[in-house]
Structure 1
């Protein structure tokens, strides 16, 4: 296996906001990764210009340009920060070269990966999907509830600043809701799931806010759920420092005549669990209010770091 200075060589495909922020995170914070190439399709993009200034190899010819770079032979992981539509072709080509792919689009070709929930199960997967920004923020909370009590239904609402939603985010909104809803079930552990995204046009822009609603079994232990949520929030904050609970976990008993109509379930009773979150970005490249983008790049970096540490035989 080829390594550079005892680090695993990586490249970023996509020179937009997410790809540029990720490149900067790798350069500043990575312990086991070597940032070798940044590739896009706009030769005038700020991401490619920054990469050149930072000494990173670049190409404005997309995936074909990446494969044509001299350093490509060393690259072991490629972060795809383009679009769900383009990712399928990228994945096929990169797999043919034996390159592991970390997918920051909602394409969901590979398994859904939330670092604090299920990364260890998928370290050898050829393609790892980072779900969505809303998924990275909220699915850990759904999992925190479901590991304590059965969750009949979970619904998440991700509210992000309109200014932080670039062309790629807007083009992928349908994929966002579908991918996040499936991951709420497959990774979060809820029986049914639903995801909603809100683009907030407020000025000045607001930080990413997420609300998680879970309908758990009626006799669930509230103290155990609250403790599990607090621990999970701390675990996420270990790699996304701006991730935090906005207030204490809220509980409401829905029983007797007060049943609620739940999508996929019909009239239901249970313990309603409500969690309010805020995600502040690290402002490496993007504004602090763009926590929705920061949590994606932070999760992708944490995933690649763990993969690299394992491959290189490091403890962390």
Structure 2
């Protein structure tokens, strides 16, 4: 079966987990290269054992590789700052780019929300781990109500699953996720927070979503949320509700003040999620990384399948 070659820039936790997913689960992609900057990284060592070509000389090393011209798609699992440079170089060579950083140079993409809407864009952004986990739920609430006034998400992850790249992008995480809550989730105002939990043993990823809506029935909201959980679970098997959806009425006697909107009332919905990793490379508690790599692979695999089908026609 024909497959397209892909490369992954970043040999850390995210890049290595993504490589393992491509090797073991991708339908339309195969590894063409793993790129890092640390010659002693575990990711590069694993790639060598798998027979995947490697370079520790970054994007420049990738472009010097003898079979670089055969690579159709590149995943960037570095940092928001590095992605700007990487994308410019890759676009000059006509490569499809899947951005796993919070740089957000391309359109936001969450498989369960906007599916294939951006599949043909030269650069697509996978938002953030917190965004991939929570924005589908925000969107699920929005489609069941007349007005989604506000949505706030709190992503809690084990500090062990937050490597140097994640820690260097905390500000970008909150900014990018907040924007995507509004642009993709449909909230008039969005807010995102991330908590690094140092507990031992490490806890799996937990996400809390609060929404304030108007003009919707509780039963319809809950049904929409449950449908969305199933949709995300189809490509992230460890994605699930932690407990039943909770509702509270915010009445005229105790309105809440929302920046940019003012005093507001309505139905408060609280959704508690957990995301357990699949264990392809990372431990099960690193669901925050697993949902990013799973979403990126689904997006890339769909694009590659479409390209291969067109070539075969």
TM-score normalized by the length of structure 2? 0.97
Q: 2:241 matched to which residue of 1?
A: 245
How many Å separate the matches in 1 of 2:196 and 2:50? 33
* Separation of aligned partners in 1, 2:30 and 2:280: 18
Return the alpha-carbon distance in structure 1 between the equivalents of residues 102 and 269 of structure 2. Answer: 27
**Counterparts of 1:88 and 1:119 in 2: how far apart (Å)?**
24
Give the whole-Å Cα distance in 2 for the aligned partners of 1:137 and 1:116.
10
Q: For residues 94-138 of structure 1, what are the alpha-carbon distances to aligned partners after superposition, in whole Å with 9 as ceiling and x for unaligned?
A: 000100100000000000100111131101111000000000000
Whole-Å separation in 1 of the counterparts to 2:260 and 2:66: 52
In structure 1, the partner of 2:75 is 79
| Separation of aligned partners in 2, 1:65 and 1:87 | 16
CA distance in 1, matches of 2:259, 2:239: 29
Unpaired runs of 5+ in structure 2? none
How far, CA to CA, are the matches of 2:90 and 2:115 in structure 1?
21
How far the C-alpha of 1:277 sits from its partner, in A, is 0.2
- Pairwise CA distance, 1:310: 1.1
Cα drift, residue 67 of structure 1? 0.8
Within the candidate set 2, 6, 9, 1:13 is matched to 9
Partners of 1:207 and 1:43 in 2: how far apart?
Answer: 30
Deviations 1:139-178 (A, max 9, x none): 0000001111121100000000011101000000000000
Uncovered stretches (5+) of structure 1, i.e. residues with no partner: none
In the TM superposition, what are the counterparts of 1:81-120 in structure 2 within 5 Å?
81-120=77-116
Residue matched to 1:176: 173
Equivalent runs, 1:85-234 vs 2, <5 Å: 85-149=81-145, 150-217=147-214, 219-234=215-230
The DSSP-based 3-state class of the residue aligned with 1:35 is: strand
Is the CA contact 2:116–2:299 (under 8 Å) kept in the aligned structure 1? no
Taking the aligned partners of 1:138 and 1:284, their CA distance within structure 2 comes to 22
Shift of 1:264: 2.6
Contact 2:204 2:275 in 1 (8 A): yes
RMSD value, Cα: 1.1
> How far apart in 1 are the matches of 2:252 and 2:271?
24
CA distance in 2, matches of 1:131, 1:295: 11
Please give the TM-score of this superposition, normalised by the length of structure 1.
0.96
Counterpart CA distance in 2 for 1:249 and 1:72 is: 49
Q: 1:293: which partner in 2?
A: 289
Matched residues in 1 for 2:307 and 2:190: separation?
35
| DSSP-derived class of the 2:236 partner | coil
Once residues 250 and 243 of structure 1 are traced to their aligned partners in structure 2, the CA distance between those partners, rounded to angstroms, is 18
**CA positional deviation for 1:265:** 2.1
Task: Please state how far the C-alpha of 1:260 moved relative to its aligned partner.
Answer: 1.4
Shift of 1:273: 0.8
Equivalent residue runs for 1:24-103 within 5 Å? 24-103=20-99
**Is contact 2:241–2:271 with CA below 8 Å preserved after alignment?**
yes
- Residues in 1 aligned to 2:9 and 2:278: alpha-carbon distance in whole angstroms: 21
Match of 1:256 in 2: 252
Partner of 2:117, secondary structure, is: helix
Q: How many residue pairs were aligned?
A: 310
SS of equivalent to 1:86: helix
Q: Return the offset for 1:70.
A: 1.6
